Structure 1
Amino acid sequence: MHCIKFLPWVFASNLLLTLDSSTCHAETVKKIAFKLSPLPLNQALIELGKQAGLPIIFAPEMVVDKFSPELTGTISLADALTTLLTNSELAYEVVESRFIVITEAANKAEEVVDNRRNAPQPLENIYVYGNYVTGSRIRRSDFEGYNPVDILDRSELNLIGTPTVSAQLRSLPAVTGKPSSSAVTNGGDASANVTLRGLPANNTLVLVNGRRVANNGLDGDSVNLNTIPNAAIERIEVLKDGASAIYGADAIAGVVNIVLREQFDGLEISTYGGQTGQNDLQTLNTELLWGKNFDRGSIVFSASLFDQQGIMSSDRDYAANSDGRSWGGSDQRSAATPAARIKLSDGRVVTANNVGNANNLAGYRLAETEDLYNYSEQTSAYRPRQQQSLYSHMQLDLSDQLTAFIELGYDSTESENQLAPTPIFTKFETQRTVVAADNPYNIFGEELDDVRRRMTELGPRQQYDREISKRFSTGLRGQNGSWLWDAGYSWSRSDAEQQFHNLVDGERLRRGLGSAAQCTGDCIPVNLLGPAGSLSRAESDYLRTTARSEGSSKIDSLTVNLSGPWFKLPAGTVDVAAGAELRNEAIDKTADPLSSRGGVIGGNNFVGAKGQRTIQEFYVEANLPILRHQLGLQSLELQTAARHSYYSDFGATTTPKLGLKARINPSWLLRSTYSKGFRAPSLKQMHQIDSQDYVSFTDPCAEAANVGRLPGCQQQADGSRKQFLALFGGNPQLKPETSTSYTFGVVYTPTYLSGLQAAVDLYHIKQRDVVDANAMYIAYSNAETGAFNELVQRDENGDIKQIIARYNNAGSRDVSGLDISTRYRWPETSLGNFAINLDASHIHRFERQLFANSQSRNIAGSFVDDATNGLGALPKWKGRIGASWQHLAWQANYTLNYVGHMTELHPDGETEREIEAWTTHNLQLSYTLPVLAGLKLLAGVDNLFDEKPPLIASALNDNIDARTHNLKGRYFYLSATQRF
């Protein structure tokens, strides 16, 4: 295990230390770039410990009225300590190669003995606490906790080529499923989230500095990671275990805690630039970080500007064509073509010639199978995105035992997206849309109810998204003897806006397609039946409209926490933590009036949602040492925790947790947890007004072989349709989702091989009463079994008119697998320091049951697109291998990323297709120049060999899964960081 990267707090009691026994001593001789101003000695030791990433222990009485000199340069920790302790009559000692203790110098020993009244507490009576590590409310000084936790510090985060939180988290092996990002275009809103264990994003709790923040203003179900400033991040802690007993709702799959900087001394300016090998996705990121430590306080301020250009689908040959038959995919081109496609009453399907005019029947011909539209020619594959962020943390020591703090954050994110021009399917619009028999442009002499047309005259659809996130928190932290406490208030709000341009006003379209006698006033007759370009400028302007939607999500809370040693047992001290929280959550989503009436064609019919609730929570946690050096065990400890939550909208729930940790010897540790969890139904799921949207899948009844064979297929449906109208809505009667989680792990840190650490953790999550609204599953079940006839509405021709899919507590999930983590750091050599690591995650089983009494399916190792209500990519194996080298001012890193192969159901509904595994290689090299406090130059390349992503037949966007793979290809970047 690596040394703990925090400064411990010190209290009078007995010594409790379970730190790693192998690598801390090696860290004292490693060269580190230090920068410390002249400070009181206690503050200097605190800052030194943070910069070195090692525990430094001292009694407060020892450093009273002592000051340290300035310390700047790249030297060893041993030399740094010697410099700080000059003329202080203090020394340092590496105790059992585990931690550093500040002691009285040898020439003071006799004076200390004679003056016992003023002597510091002896080492045996120092009780050491560390920082809060995600997974427990009890401060701890051991890395090997009850739960598997990934801690990504600044150096690890910088290994990712793109400076965004979402990209950094998506690289983790435990992140699978359907995390969103700016690479999700059709159906996305420019937000980014994280999905642990393949479970939806609302099953992973995202915290900032251990506190909840507002969800995305429009989506309302998860936090938008794009609103977190990268410059302010100190580290990210990822708990891969259920933690409702510790943190409350939503922590079923785990917890991601983004820890922002609270202390920094100096000024740091960095700039980053990158682009792909095809000269697109140009990215520029500029960050400023300034901080100052004062005698009784500190201040940190950061600001950043991020600007990333986009990629069009047409810029990549494998994404430029939605017809994938040439590589084993399917033809996903649209039947809504620039030239009108018309079904006549005698069953013939005709299309307007692209030459000549459509004023007589000679202007039409029978439609052919290849008369389809390749929408990929005009769609975005990566959204252009801009972000501006400000962050500040200030704290003031009101006394030696009391500190006040204030934290402020502001982030603004904007993104643009392009989709193909609006498609018109008159037969399947939300309201009856027909071309009247006496419409001026209708030469067929009959009413036409099935006309398909791509409105190229209006231009591509343009989507604009903006989100502003604001955060504020303040409070007090203090100590009373051996006890720590804190109390505070936090407030967070997210305001989001979305606009869709170049859509079609459905109400005006229906008027323009009616008879000439009814088209009066501002009505303009519409020529929907002609070839491409047949709409006049006046008709286009008459039909063109913009849909707007705005939404906000807000959360504010009052919290109080207390932790410390309670009483002693023969095996050690019982540590406890307890606290309470009063929280209020609210959402308010409003829609454009035209859109809310279902009058917009070509975009989502945005609807409103408004709700709020109050939550009262109380928790208690205890760490009980059971055995020490008994029954063949070095130690045995038990963690117990429980949280009681009361929600004003659905009632109360109590969630317990138990953890057991047994250290057999210094090399072997066994750990296990059992916990109950819950996810409160989101305010959106409870209060969303019924809305109509389109879902993508292949209707089983469109296959001739299924007609008469499947109970729900009495007629053959139209096989050219790929999208179907669905009605979604909230349900105020929803209950919480519940879960039961188990983990069992083995940690190996051999004493004979200093620097090696390895861990294997098994996990099992059972989830019940899952909230879902799955239109595709309803349609498939209806076809295959005849069930849900009341939810699947078909017309006289057997075509789906609408699917009703409101949210319900209907399903269950059963997920199990394992995580592997291995690290090895070689002893320092004359050639430098070498290290290697391996992280991997395996999904053994992912049983999903969508409705009660329906058949469950093991979907581990499969892909089902989010557009068809799937859970995305669930490869059985995902992993990465990293290697690093550091020598003097040079540092190099190599990372191999692996996503295992998967299977998918081909859109033909009959065959299963294999999705290839994907392996990419990243390289990075940096050099630190002795300019001022250090100028670090870095160059890197992601996807060194330009490995193309695997092609997926059932993917909605770009023939790939942009949530798991990416199409950017080889990507180069440079950065420069100057410290002052």
Structure 2
Amino acid sequence: MKLNQLARSLVVVGLGAHAAVWAQEEVQKMERVEITGSSIKRLKDEGALPVQVITASELSRKGITSAEQMLRQLGINGTGADNAISNNNVFGADTDRLTGGTANANLRGLGPGSTLVLLNGRRVSTSGMSGGAVDLNSIPMAAIQRVEILKDGASAIYGTDAIGGVINFILKKDYQGAALSMDYSTPFESGGGTQRKASITGGWGSLDRDGYNMMVSLSLTDNDILRGSDRDWAKGFQPARGLSPNSSSSPFANIISGTGTALGAGSAVAGSGDAVKYTRINLLSLQGACDAAPYGVQFQPGLWTPANASAATKAANNASGRYLCNTDYGSQFMLAAPKKAENLVTRGTFRINAQNEAFVELTASRNRVKSELTPGQFSTTAASGTLYPVSGPYYLNLKNFGVTDFDPTKPIAYRWRMQDFGNRVIENVDENSRLLVGLEGDIGAYSYKLGASIAGAKGYSNLIDGYAYTKPLVDALSKGLINPWVPPGQTQTPEAQALIESMKARGRLQGGETTLQQFDGSISGDLFKLPAGTLQFAAGFDVRRETYEFAPSADGFNCVSGLSTGATDVLLCPGNTAVPKESRNIGAVYGELAVPVFQGFDLQLAVRHDQYSKIGGTTNPKIGFRWQPAQMVLFRGSYNTGFKAPSFQQLSPNTAPRDYTATWSDPIRCPTDPTQCSIVGLDYTDSGNPNLKPEKSKQGTLGVVVSPTANMNLYADYWRVDLDQRIRKLTVGDVLNNYALFSDRIVRDANGNATLVQAGWINAADSSTSGIDWGASYQFKHSTGTWLATINGTHMLNAKERTFYGQRQVDQVGKFNTRTLYLRDKFNADLTWSRDNWSATFSTIYKAGYDDQDMSAKGVLPATANTKVASYTTFDLFGSYIGFKNTTVTVGIRNLFDRDPSFTHHDVDDVAGAGWDPRVADPFGRTLAVSVRYEFK
């Protein structure tokens, strides 16, 4: 029995399985399969919901070797700070210090916690450190048969957290034989960034012949670091374009003012042409040689002084910045992290009889990703006893260099970038495992599934280098044993360097663990005949228990943001407060109907009730339709509601302090105290909130699929998601920039000076996000070979948000945002050719431009600065040859035309990336990629 023309075309566009269609010419027999988005097994290639299927062969021919690479090309995946680079950084007030090294999915830009990631249709454990979302590094891509992406909320089918959609990674089944594959890629430009991956997969036994099948797959990954110093465009000092570091520290220390110190309240500078009392002075700046120090640059006070600032603020910024050196931290940034990973999957399937099978599945992974951050920075103070002593061997007398009011009889206060301690390096380790056993098959006319699983994830971070215990550091600084003014081209003495090495903190910093125990089952089949066809049903249950705990390590590191004398205090390490073991139980029941209303028109009706311990229950319905009025056209749509419970981390208070490195002018103290006009190094916390309420959503889709010919297909799906009580992190910037609203979140000392900002998770206001997913494909045969052209994209209509009720909603599409960039358009297009043993794919990925960050509240941009971040388009070219016995060789070039990331002058204290944005761009440049696969037959 043949499938009709439209059903076949839906494979290409509506379901996205492009490669599978053009490579197969034979008519397939009728079979029932379960497609992501429904628990009812139906005739293959039927579908009403917008589901995209990406096959393993499609990934291979495009040189994609990881889940993160795949998702970064898709328009549906949000352009957010959920990638491995943004997650593996301390910059950006939104940065979750517990996500280092992880990569997350973020469908519709609604956040990683709103995307449900499944493996063979069932849940896997969230990351052990943050507990908030699944780490895509744990997915065994070498054993994946296909990936199904449901571009619609699925809370009524899979659970309340599927608001943004579902990604279902499906493993190979009944695999026989063995295959060895090697993947290698390296940028053409010198530097790091080389990536290697080796995989071996073997399977034996035939379900039909032997009654069983066993499969084992192991993959190993080894990626090298890529640093900012390896790329010219990654420089953080491009003042003509409006980009300059806002740090006040330097490898050659800046001398700062302070009561009872050598610089006192400031000093005039001979030859400056004015009588200004400068409050921060660097000898190299006086000599016009800030860049003589490693990564040193001249501070640009004009770029960081708003045009509408008061005269007092302008004077204070000039006095503190004209002779200040700082650091080009862009060149020190890590553009791509070093990574070592192992992934293992084993699966055994056993035929009980002709209708029933049992299976056992074990997956395990271990990922080690290093975070390499810029050297730490600190300011010495009289209170901490760390002023440089007059008797110290490296005392720097600025009076000899024209600083007229410098008093060499007093100690020196200074701010120093700890270049001699090296970059701060943290190793983030994430271990995941899942054991699943199950039964599935048919009992009479009904199909059933039963499964029980135990999954867990452990995450921990190790201090490797660059971090110092503060007690010996304070002691060394108080005695002047370390030289903060090492002349350019020279180094610390061997004795000083040995002292530095002796005070470094190394060992386990902290760790967390999540577990997931699940028992689920479903039954589906036909109920009875209706005039238009058979009424089908599915019903099921899902019972699971989730746990999370987080604790500092037994090594006892206590992370602090300033100099102190605690025996276990470590300067600037990203530690979090302990979270005692928490657990919750979730029970759910659901039902689904496929109703043929009349010929060509079907309804999908579903409802699910979830009951959360400690949170409460929720019932979420879903209704969908599929209408095919003619062979060439199909209409589809759905409406459903959702409910997202807060994560354990979002609910747990965290009192560990952070260091806000940007400047802030205190609206209360600045008018009377100039020292409070440019506060640097303000502490803040970004705590969880035990009073958080769940998010609630309403969402829907409406689409059309058109097949004017057997080989041409087009689709468009309108979608909209409305969220209420949205959970988001109130950043330190939100608090400081909205002082009137959050003055109670600023802690002050006895003198009224701000000492701590209390930021963290809140239930914000509502949001409304909508857009159009669209695509087309055309396949044709020619004397030159078989050709397939496809294009898939997302056009954003709006992303209206407000942080607090009472504010008006503001559309964020095409505008800079510290969280997710809602780009107006994203699409990827492929042109694939095949003939005999040869095939090739030419791909393009397009991401629209957007308005750059508005710096008017922070500084003034030069006339030469762009205020629009350019669109970003890259092209890839891959070719494959299968003419060698049992061997497939694929060679390609990513970023064929070596497109640099689009320039952005955003403040790196708000979003990671100096001069570029890792949410959008690829830092590797033109890259050679080679893959060899050999099958043992």
Tell me which residue corresponds to 1:544: 504
Tell me which residue corresponds to 1:202: 113
Tell me which residue corresponds to 1:186: 89
Does residue 153 (structure 1) correspond to residue 153 (structure 2)? The answer is no
Does residue 491 (structure 1) correspond to residue 454 (structure 2)? The answer is yes
- What secondary structure sits across from 2:113 in the alignment? helix
Tell me which residue corresponds to 1:587: 548
With a CA cutoff of 8 Å and minimum separation of 6, indicate the structure with the bigger relative contact order. Answer: 2
String of CA shifts for 1:789-832, please: whole Å, max 9, x gaps. 11134679997532111322223221011110111111x33322
Larger radius of gyration: 1
2-structure distance, mates of 1:680, 1:761: 28
Tell me which residue corresponds to 1:36: none
2-structure distance, mates of 1:723, 1:366: 15
Question: Quick check: 1:435–1:449 contact (8 Å CA) kept in 2?
Answer: no
Match for residue 593 of structure 2 among 613, 622, 625: 622
Tell me which residue corresponds to 1:646: 611
Match for residue 335 of structure 2 among 352, 376, 381: 381
Tell me which residue corresponds to 1:410: 364
- What secondary structure sits across from 2:175 in the alignment? coil
**Larger displacement relative to structure 2 (452-461 or 588-597):** 588-597
Tell me which residue corresponds to 1:875: 823
Query: Structure 2 vs 1, CA of residues 669 and 976 (structure 1 numbering), >3 Å: closer, same or farther?
Result: same
**Larger displacement relative to structure 2 (504-513 or 740-749):** 504-513
Question: Quick check: 1:794–1:801 contact (8 Å CA) kept in 2?
Answer: yes
2-structure distance, mates of 1:807, 1:650: 17
Tell me which residue corresponds to 1:744: 702
Tell me which residue corresponds to 2:583: 612
Query: Structure 2 vs 1, CA of residues 966 and 801 (structure 1 numbering), >3 Å: closer, same or farther?
Result: farther
Query: Structure 2 vs 1, CA of residues 236 and 762 (structure 1 numbering), >3 Å: closer, same or farther?
Result: same
Tell me which residue corresponds to 2:307: none
Query: Structure 2 vs 1, CA of residues 483 and 423 (structure 1 numbering), >3 Å: closer, same or farther?
Result: same
**Larger displacement relative to structure 2 (774-783 or 504-513):** 504-513
2-structure distance, mates of 1:686, 1:446: 53
Q: Which runs of 5+ in 2 are unaligned?
A: 91-98, 267-278, 287-318, 398-406, 562-568
Query: Structure 2 vs 1, CA of residues 679 and 446 (structure 1 numbering), >3 Å: closer, same or farther?
Result: farther
Question: Quick check: 1:195–1:204 contact (8 Å CA) kept in 2?
Answer: yes
String of CA shifts for 1:659-702, please: whole Å, max 9, x gaps. 12211111111111111011110011112432222456564x38
Match for residue 126 of structure 2 among 211, 215, 236: 215
- What secondary structure sits across from 2:772 in the alignment? strand
Question: Quick check: 1:885–1:893 contact (8 Å CA) kept in 2?
Answer: yes
**Larger displacement relative to structure 2 (953-962 or 338-347):** 338-347
2-structure distance, mates of 1:191, 1:733: 27
Question: Quick check: 1:503–1:600 contact (8 Å CA) kept in 2?
Answer: yes
Q: Which amino acid aligns with 1:589?
A: F
Query: Structure 2 vs 1, CA of residues 901 and 854 (structure 1 numbering), >3 Å: closer, same or farther?
Result: same
Does residue 636 (structure 1) correspond to residue 594 (structure 2)? The answer is no
String of CA shifts for 1:356-394, please: whole Å, max 9, x gaps. 9xxxxxxxx997445112223433211111111111111
1:225-244 matches, cutoff 5 A:
225-244=136-155
String of CA shifts for 1:752-778, please: whole Å, max 9, x gaps. x21111110011111111122222453
Match for residue 729 of structure 1 among 668, 683, 687: 687
Tell me which residue corresponds to 1:285: 197
Tell me which residue corresponds to 1:61: none
2-structure distance, mates of 1:268, 1:227: 21
- What secondary structure sits across from 1:183 in the alignment? helix
Question: Quick check: 1:354–1:531 contact (8 Å CA) kept in 2?
Answer: no
2-structure distance, mates of 1:848, 1:712: 32
Tell me which residue corresponds to 2:803: 850
Q: Which amino acid aligns with 2:516?
A: I
2-structure distance, mates of 1:716, 1:371: 21
Does residue 944 (structure 1) correspond to residue 896 (structure 2)? The answer is yes
1:135-534 matches, cutoff 5 A:
135-143=37-45, 145-184=47-86, 185-187=88-90, 189-279=100-190, 280-294=192-206, 295=209, 296-319=211-234, 321-345=235-259, 346-348=264-266, 349-351=279-281, 353=283, 368-425=322-379, 433=384, 435=386, 441=392, 451-500=414-463, 501-509=465-473
1:959-970 matches, cutoff 5 A:
959-970=915-926
- What secondary structure sits across from 2:163 in the alignment? coil
1-structure distance, mates of 2:749, 2:167: 47
Q: How far has the Cα of 1:418 moved from its partner? A: 2.0
Task: Give the alignment's TM-score, normalised by structure 1.
Answer: 0.79
1-structure distance, mates of 2:735, 2:512: 31
String of CA shifts for 1:533-591, please: whole Å, max 9, x gaps. 66824652464223611111111101111111112211111111111111011112111
- What secondary structure sits across from 2:765 in the alignment? strand
2-structure distance, mates of 1:682, 1:140: 35
Q: Which runs of 5+ in 1 are unaligned?
A: 1-14, 27-49, 56-74, 79-98, 102-127, 357-364, 515-523, 629-634, 865-869
Identity %: 25
Question: Quick check: 1:781–1:787 contact (8 Å CA) kept in 2?
Answer: no
Query: Structure 2 vs 1, CA of residues 25 and 588 (structure 1 numbering), >3 Å: closer, same or farther?
Result: closer
1-structure distance, mates of 2:453, 2:107: 26
2-structure distance, mates of 1:397, 1:675: 38
Match for residue 532 of structure 2 among 559, 571, 576: 571
2-structure distance, mates of 1:157, 1:347: 63
Q: How far has the Cα of 1:334 moved from its partner? A: 4.3
Task: Give the alignment's TM-score, normalised by structure 2.
Answer: 0.83
Q: How far has the Cα of 1:450 moved from its partner? A: 6.7
Root mean square deviation of aligned Cα: 3.3
Does residue 684 (structure 1) correspond to residue 649 (structure 2)? The answer is yes
Question: Quick check: 1:616–1:645 contact (8 Å CA) kept in 2?
Answer: yes
1-structure distance, mates of 2:853, 2:10: 52
Tell me which residue corresponds to 1:559: 520
- What secondary structure sits across from 1:845 in the alignment? strand
Q: Which amino acid aligns with 2:344?
A: L
String of CA shifts for 1:465-498, please: whole Å, max 9, x gaps. 1111111100111211221111111121111121
Query: Structure 2 vs 1, CA of residues 830 and 733 (structure 1 numbering), >3 Å: closer, same or farther?
Result: same
- What secondary structure sits across from 2:420 in the alignment? helix
Question: Quick check: 1:465–1:496 contact (8 Å CA) kept in 2?
Answer: yes
2-structure distance, mates of 1:929, 1:469: 39
Q: How far has the Cα of 1:328 moved from its partner? A: 3.2
2-structure distance, mates of 1:853, 1:559: 43
Q: How far has the Cα of 1:224 moved from its partner? A: 0.7
Number of residue pairs the alignment of both structures matches: 832
Q: How far has the Cα of 1:144 moved from its partner? A: 5.2
Tell me which residue corresponds to 2:36: 134
Question: Quick check: 2:254–2:325 contact (8 Å CA) kept in 1?
Answer: no
Q: How far has the Cα of 1:893 moved from its partner? A: 0.6
1-structure distance, mates of 2:670, 2:35: 54
Q: How far has the Cα of 1:273 moved from its partner? A: 1.4
Query: Structure 2 vs 1, CA of residues 665 and 872 (structure 1 numbering), >3 Å: closer, same or farther?
Result: same
Query: Structure 2 vs 1, CA of residues 829 and 613 (structure 1 numbering), >3 Å: closer, same or farther?
Result: same
Q: Which amino acid aligns with 2:792?
A: D
2-structure distance, mates of 1:209, 1:52: 21
Query: Structure 2 vs 1, CA of residues 716 and 230 (structure 1 numbering), >3 Å: closer, same or farther?
Result: farther
String of CA shifts for 1:60-89, please: whole Å, max 9, x gaps. xxxxxxxxxxxxxxx9866xxxxxxxxxxx
String of CA shifts for 1:109-130, please: whole Å, max 9, x gaps. xxxxxxxxxxxxxxxxxxx653
